[in-house]
Structure 1
Amino acid sequence: MTTILVTGGTGTLGRCVTRRLRADGREVRVLSRHAQPYAVDLRAGGSGLDAALAGVETVVHCASSQRGGDEKAAEHLVAAARRAGLGHLVYISIVGVDRVPLGYYRTKLAVERLIEASGLGWTILRTTQFHDLLVSVLGGLAKAPVLLVPAGVPDQPVEVAEVADRLAGLALAGPAGRVADMGGPEVRTLDSLARSYLRATGRRRAVARVPLFGGTYRAVRAGGLLTPERAVGRTTFEEHLEHRFGG
């Protein structure tokens, strides 16, 4: 039976991917900084990474941090994967990493390039922002008396469980290179999403649209985070909110 390693397997996406693969009867190892028996900090590398990859045929690389270190982590993972003779490395990326000049996005794009040049069999999937991330961001913004959102910014959030299903399917297939992007079912403005969040959580706040400046804002306003031609997700933001907070 194929053994699959999921990096970042205790994170929001990694947990879903792990459950999905195990439900299909697959042997799955979870790698994260604190999860035994494969507790490894990818940024540091080390012998624990070689042990985690021993006998593994496929890796689903979900580990990521906006605090930095993703490139170094990917370098260590690719080097260990080569030593282990890995057959397939699956990487989750973000729609817009080549269009939005955000530091974290530049890092994700650099990791894509590293994997493409690794000499390994690889698959890369880009998706739009997860509903969970949007809820977290709006929850923070809603702490103020007025919920401020960037003016004119569209978003296309997608359900993490659906992304996990897609990643699991890709992991069980052969290397496919850069596959079609995956976006949520609707393109929405941030202010409309914010109002839906407030209704679902029973909070009373005014929502104000604030114009911003700079290259990142211009790219996002121009649709840099969107893939409307790949609106293949099924769960809307309102459906996610109903499941999470109740009707």
Structure 2
Amino acid sequence: MTTILVTGGTGTLGRLVTERLRADGHEVRVLSRHAQPYAVDLREGGAGLDAALAGVATVVHCASSPRGGDEQAAQHLLAAARRAGVGHLAYISIVGVDRVPFGYYRSKLAVERLIEQSGLGWTVLRATQFHDLLAMFFQGLSRPPVMLVPAGVPDQPVEVAEVAGRLAELAAGAPAGRVPDMGGPEVRSFDSLARAYLRATGRRRAVANVPLLGKTYRAFRTGGHLAPDQAVGKGTFEEYLTRRFGQG
């Protein structure tokens, strides 16, 4: 089996990708800012990155931050991967990065383009939002007595373990370029997802749908972040909520 480096290997997705690859018999190195022996901040690069990549055949790039720095991190990673002779880099991106003018999405699209132009063998998988992300979002929105959600916005959340399985499968194979998107099983309104979260957590809140302004909101409202033709995920949001909170 090959030696595979997973960046962001302690995160929500990266941890599951690491577990899947190890279960399949691969030697896996986990790279993150605090995970020894490969504690590296990709935004800074440095000798630690070269050491982490020595002898690595494949990189699964899961490290990402909405707070910025993804492009700089990718440049450091790609340069080090070329020096190390890495044959395959698999990257997780987001459905709609080329359609929704949201800052974080634009950064993810820029990283995709850096990877495509890197000279390395590459695979890019775009997925819709994870159930975990929606739960975190709704946790914040449900703090006030009235839960305000963006009006008219649909979503298609997907189970992170399913994305991890698909990404691990792709990483173990040959470079495949841009592969079909991966979406959750249902396209739902934010309103219905928010109400499902409230039921599962036992919180009593009024839900108000608030119209917003701007190109980003319009793109989300018209479904630029959805993949209805690739609704390949199986786990529903209610099933995730039941598993996490004990009731649906």
- How far, CA to CA, are the matches of 1:29 and 1:198 in structure 2? 39
Mapping 1:49-198, distance limit 5 Å: 49-198=49-198
Amino acid in the other structure paired with 2:92: I
Partner secondary structure for residue 168 of structure 1? helix
- How far, CA to CA, are the matches of 2:215 and 2:43 in structure 1? 30
- How far, CA to CA, are the matches of 1:199 and 1:66 in structure 2? 29
- How far, CA to CA, are the matches of 2:222 and 2:161 in structure 1? 28
Residue in 1 that maps onto 2:213: 213
- How far, CA to CA, are the matches of 1:151 and 1:185 in structure 2? 22
- How far, CA to CA, are the matches of 1:27 and 1:82 in structure 2? 20
- How far, CA to CA, are the matches of 2:23 and 2:204 in structure 1? 41
Amino acid in the other structure paired with 1:165: G
> Is 1:27–2:27 an aligned residue pair?
yes
Partner secondary structure for residue 204 of structure 2? coil
- How far, CA to CA, are the matches of 2:22 and 2:145 in structure 1? 44
Stretches of 4+ moved more than 3 A in 1?
Answer: none
- How far, CA to CA, are the matches of 1:22 and 1:144 in structure 2? 43
Partner secondary structure for residue 186 of structure 2? coil
- How far, CA to CA, are the matches of 1:21 and 1:93 in structure 2? 19
Residue in 1 that maps onto 2:244: 244
Displacement, 1:68?
A: 0.6
Displacement, 1:103?
A: 0.6
Q: Percent identity?
A: 80
Displacement, 1:23?
A: 1.1
The gaps in structure 2 that reach 5 residues or longer are none
Q: Deviations over 1:51-94 (max 9, x none)?
A: 00000000000000011100000000000000000000000000
Displacement, 1:180?
A: 0.1
- How far, CA to CA, are the matches of 1:10 and 1:37 in structure 2? 13
- How far, CA to CA, are the matches of 2:160 and 2:17 in structure 1? 9
Displacement, 1:26?
A: 1.1
Partner secondary structure for residue 4 of structure 2? strand
- How far, CA to CA, are the matches of 1:124 and 1:232 in structure 2? 17
> Is 1:37–2:37 an aligned residue pair?
yes
- How far, CA to CA, are the matches of 2:239 and 2:58 in structure 1? 33
- How far, CA to CA, are the matches of 1:241 and 1:26 in structure 2? 32
Q: Deviations over 1:202-225 (max 9, x none)?
A: 000010000000000000001011
Partner secondary structure for residue 68 of structure 1? coil
Displacement, 1:150?
A: 0.3
- How far, CA to CA, are the matches of 2:141 and 2:103 in structure 1? 22
Q: Deviations over 1:212-241 (max 9, x none)?
A: 000000000010110000000000000000
Displacement, 1:24?
A: 1.1
Q: Deviations over 1:123-154 (max 9, x none)?
A: 00000000000000000000010000000000
Displacement, 1:25?
A: 1.5
- How far, CA to CA, are the matches of 1:114 and 1:26 in structure 2? 27
Partner secondary structure for residue 79 of structure 2? helix
Q: TM-score, normalised by structure 1?
A: 0.99
Residues matched between the structures, number: 247
Amino acid in the other structure paired with 2:98: D
